[in-house]
Amino acid sequence: MRRAIFPGSFDPLTNGHLDIVTRSLPLFDEIIIAVLNNPDKNPMFSVEERCSMIEEIIPSLGGNGCHIVVDRFSGLTAHFAKERKATAIVRGIRAVSDYEYELRMALMNRKLEPTIETVFLMADEEFSYVSSTLMKQVFELGGRVEGLIPPSVEEQMRNKLATR
């Protein structure tokens, strides 16, 4: 079984994330979307809310014979990947600055768990500037984010802002 994890905070989930998941489907039998619990990042959504939003969207991705699972984790990505018997960690690259950061992470993950490979996928140019942080900032300042995040996620963001 070719199992990969796609780790991230997904706060919020963007269409860039979905693009990476969709393009990785033909490469693996199973992809675990691994939602990082990192309270230091001051998340807009709880881990449970993020997992729920992702689980709601998964059926629209199709799967192409690949099984998609949502899970949560804290701690080291390499250790989580090993616990889940993954053979790869999927990471999206948007720009050269991402590559430099992701290269260091991939090398450290390889040092921690030498049997797990990191697979880099280039972001579609349409999403090369999209990040969760940027989407939150633009949204909170009243900017438009349609086409950059799933409509159901935008609705959850709207509800979250209304309750603040």
Residues noted as catalytic = 17, 41, 94, 132
In whole angstroms, what is the distance from residue 32 CA to residue 52 CA?
14
Which two structure tokens, joined as six digits, stand for 113? 């768990």
In whole angstroms, what is the distance from residue 72 CA to residue 143 CA?
30
Which two structure tokens, joined as six digits, stand for 8? 């991230």
Buried residues in 62-84 as b, exposed as e (16+ CB within 10 A): eeeebebebeebeeebbebbeeb
For residues 112 and 76, is the Cβ–Cβ distance under 8 A?
yes
In whole angstroms, what is the distance from residue 117 CA to residue 4 CA?
9
Which two structure tokens, joined as six digits, stand for 130? 């999209």
In whole angstroms, what is the distance from residue 6 CA to residue 21 CA?
8
